[in-house]
Structure 1
Amino acid sequence: MSEAPIPSQLQGQVVAFRADASLEIGSGHVMRCLTLADALQAQGAQCHFLCREHPGHLCELIEARGYPVHRLPQEARDTNTAVTSVTEPKLDHAHWLGASWDEDAAACLPLLAELAPAWLVVDHYALDHRWETTVLDRLPNSRPRLLVIDDLADRRHIADLLLDQNLGRQAEDYRGLVPEGCQVLAGPRYALLRPEFREWREASLSRRAREPGLRRLLINLGGVDKDNVTGQVLDALITCDLPENLQISVVMGASAPWRESVTAQARTMPWPTEVVVNVSDMAQRMAEADLAIGAAGSTSWERCCLGLPTLMVVLADNQRGIAQALEEQGASSTLDLADLPRSLARCLAGISAPHALALMSQQAANRVDEKGADRVLSALSATTQES
């Protein structure tokens, strides 16, 4: 059944995003917000970003994509100007904010008051209902609708819409954490994928059916990879039995602290190994790769959409659920960082059997299609129409 056409309720609306990137946070939150911003802009919305200037922030990248960035100071504001905090347990990821939640709210309030957005999108593990209530209740103009993007289901929100695109996630997981009227968009059918993944899906799946085998390996362990897991993977690959004609492509972010070291290491590999930075053709690279070694973050849904078999690396605790769910579905295998050479050799042996790559590819493609952003836009438009 085809998806319903997207209404035009977002035409001319201002949408503000509160999301951060850093060496610790990584780039995933900002990147998926950029994907949503692109989709909203195509519908005529005007998107703005509010970001704190952490080490490894992506403010210049956001601006290069055409969106205004309202930069929050890296240092905490004077507590005398901050909103009084409510005594509640500290969030597990509170330190990601670079300030207390009430200091952050005080910094965002004048910016949001000037923007007067119709929608506020919050994608930040360090923010919950306290920040949301403080900001929305104190804005002098009409109260914006609130979309929260989350992966954890570990704190309360006052959202109108909540998006959790992770495999195995259900709306019931947020029962008691969101208002009864909040619509929860749960599961990878709502995965925020850029349009190029829609464009490459058919060609990618067709090629895998025609040309099984391992000739091109893609390595992408996030935009930051602060612990140089990429270097560990390259070291471990040297000990593995791989085809002589293998070609390796390593994709890194410009803010990756180990980029120069990995580039030097790539020159010593037994197979031709390139290191590329901040690529604009990621969908094509994934479509042309036969196997990926990648982080178990939001890029997982991009790989699934293109049916790219993956050996997955868990780089943060919040990625464990994704890795486990995809492995249980036969869509990937998970590497053990504690014993990477042996784990990598075992996983590669497991996919060397005839049709093993093709089977993993099909299971991955069955988990995610290319229409998630359309479904999110439809929900945003429908909720806007209700106001």
Structure 2
Amino acid sequence: MTAVFRVDFSDTIGIGHLFRCLTLANALHQKGISCVFISRSDDTNSLIAKAGHQLVRLNGKETINTDAEVKHASWLSTGWQQDAEESLGICKKYKSLMLIVDHYALDYKWEKVLTDYCKIIVVLDDLADRKHNCQLLIDSNYLRRADEYRKLLVKDSEVLAGSEYTLLKPDFTVLRAKAEHQRKATDTIKKVLVFLGGGNTENTMASVLSALSQVSWPVQPQITVVLSSLYKHVDQVVDRLSEMVFETKLMIDTPEMARLILNADLAVGASGSSTWERCCLGLPSVNILIANNQQYAHKNLGGAGVIEAVKAEEPLEKAIATSVQVLVSDMKKWHSISERCFSLIDGLGTRRVVSRILSYS
């Protein structure tokens, strides 16, 4: 059995889609399944190869995807028909195939082209904004309900909905017990982790670093900033960090994210996939809405008190500083958020998803 993943990543798309596909691929590989990635993206840091999987690049002619049915059509650098035909040519090389699609620019039309050649099509989604032709759909958003997809499914598909299906690397599960013990003993915020995802967030990063300098800290904090190699403004971040009075560290494409989250007392991050990693290890975070596709999680997690959600109506820098100050000054609230984080994500989502996928094979 071969699992073929169709996923792209860039400074526009971000890198969260690739990371969750890699997490799933690694788990499937442990069950004896070979994994192949189909992508139009250039994996310059060999993240896929380093994980032991094959990458097949799609190099067809770039055109504008004008699919009016799909809001994120522009994320595909060619027409969906061409992408489907190129992907089909690759899939035909494998006799027993499961296809896993994680792409906001693809919908039921693309999936229908490949359905006859796949034992199962699995869709990873977060938006519930387009139709799908698949056997299994997974949306791990907090408060997402399966019935939100019923009118969007061409066939009678199974839907796994909710945060219990969050795909996380085993590192987070392993460190969870230690994190629970560590959070209970935390009495002040000393270490701050900043990670805004893999997208191009120059202005947001500048606002975050400026905001952190405006906070009244009980002790001088250590600031660790994590960037993806997709980020185009590393030099500007280096300059800004050098101007800060705090102890700072910059890390790029670190494989130690779980350890960094464990050791941090507070995070400033986007409301994307990294939110679930922080929740699993009980790390309170100030969340910023970086992209429109994060609105669902940002609103619901903020409303449930799982994150300190930055308010969009205020100037960004001021809003970030205010939110950080709230948690720095109120450790009772910090502990309350940490407990809610632990309750939300148990770290076993990957195991549940793999078990369900394999039931189809």
Q: Please, what TM-score do these two structures have when normalized by structure 1? A: 0.88
Q: Which amino acid aligns with 2:11?
A: L
For residues 18-76 of structure 1, what are the alpha-carbon distances to aligned partners after superposition, in whole Å with 9 as ceiling and x for unaligned? 0000111111111100000010011111000000036xx56722122221100011633
The share of aligned pairs that are identical, in percent, is 34
Aligned to 1:72: 58
Aligned to 2:49: 63
Aligned to 1:9: none
Aligned to 1:29: 17
Q: Please, what TM-score do these two structures have when normalized by structure 2? A: 0.95
Per-residue deviation, 1:231? 2.0
Query: For residues 41 and 330 of structure 2, what CA distance do their matches in structure 1 show?
Result: 48
Pick from 372, 375, 380 the counterpart of residue 349 of structure 2: 372
Pick from 17, 33, 36 the counterpart of residue 45 of structure 1: 33
Per-residue deviation, 1:90? 3.4
Q: Which amino acid aligns with 1:341?
A: E
Report the 3-state secondary structure (helix = DSSP H, G, I; strand = E; otherwise coil) of the residue aligned with 2:272.
coil
Q: Which amino acid aligns with 1:131?
A: W
Per-residue deviation, 1:162? 0.3
Is this contact kept in 1: 2:91–2:97, CA < 8 A? no
1:182 and 2:182 matched: no
For residues 136-155 of structure 1, what are the alpha-carbon distances to aligned partners after superposition, in whole Å with 9 as ceiling and x for unaligned? 24x4xxx3210000011111
Is this contact kept in 2: 1:216–1:289, CA < 8 A? yes
Pick from 89, 94, 97 the counterpart of residue 73 of structure 2: 94
Query: For residues 281 and 251 of structure 1, what CA distance do their matches in structure 2 show?
Result: 10
Pick from 298, 316, 320 the counterpart of residue 340 of structure 1: 316
Q: Which portions of structure 1, spanning 4 or more consecutive aligned residues, are displaced by more than 2 angstroms?
A: 57-60, 74-77, 87-90, 115-118, 224-228
Which segment is superposed worse, 235-244 or 21-30? 235-244
Query: For residues 162 and 257 of structure 1, what CA distance do their matches in structure 2 show?
Result: 33
Report the 3-state secondary structure (helix = DSSP H, G, I; strand = E; otherwise coil) of the residue aligned with 2:87.
helix
Per-residue deviation, 1:339? 1.0
Query: For residues 88 and 272 of structure 1, what CA distance do their matches in structure 2 show?
Result: 48
Aligned to 2:326: 350
> Against the structure 1 CA distance between its residues 371 and 177, is the aligned structure 2 distance closer, same or farther, given a 3 Å change threshold?
same
Aligned to 2:300: 325
> Against the structure 1 CA distance between its residues 66 and 228, is the aligned structure 2 distance closer, same or farther, given a 3 Å change threshold?
farther
Between the two proteins, the alignment pairs up a number of residues equal to 359
Q: How does 1:43-192 map to 2 (within 5 A)?
A: 43-53=31-41, 60-73=46-59, 75-76=61-62, 89-137=68-116, 139=117, 143-179=118-154, 181-192=156-167
Q: Which amino acid aligns with 1:370?
A: G
For residues 111-156 of structure 1, what are the alpha-carbon distances to aligned partners after superposition, in whole Å with 9 as ceiling and x for unaligned? 110133421000001111100111224x4xxx32100000111111
Which segment is superposed worse, 63-72 or 286-295? 63-72
Per-residue deviation, 1:17? 0.2
Query: For residues 263 and 64 of structure 1, what CA distance do their matches in structure 2 show?
Result: 27
Is this contact kept in 2: 1:21–1:58, CA < 8 A? no
Query: For residues 252 and 60 of structure 2, what CA distance do their matches in structure 1 show?
Result: 26
Report the 3-state secondary structure (helix = DSSP H, G, I; strand = E; otherwise coil) of the residue aligned with 2:46.
helix
Report the 3-state secondary structure (helix = DSSP H, G, I; strand = E; otherwise coil) of the residue aligned with 1:347.
helix
> Against the structure 1 CA distance between its residues 129 and 348, is the aligned structure 2 distance closer, same or farther, given a 3 Å change threshold?
same
Query: For residues 127 and 114 of structure 2, what CA distance do their matches in structure 1 show?
Result: 22
For residues 336-373 of structure 1, what are the alpha-carbon distances to aligned partners after superposition, in whole Å with 9 as ceiling and x for unaligned? 46512321232133221242211110011111111000
Query: For residues 274 and 193 of structure 2, what CA distance do their matches in structure 1 show?
Result: 13
1:222 and 2:186 matched: no
Report the 3-state secondary structure (helix = DSSP H, G, I; strand = E; otherwise coil) of the residue aligned with 1:115.
coil
For the aligned residues, what is the CA RMSD?
Answer: 1.9
Is this contact kept in 2: 1:53–1:73, CA < 8 A? no
Query: For residues 228 and 68 of structure 2, what CA distance do their matches in structure 1 show?
Result: 34
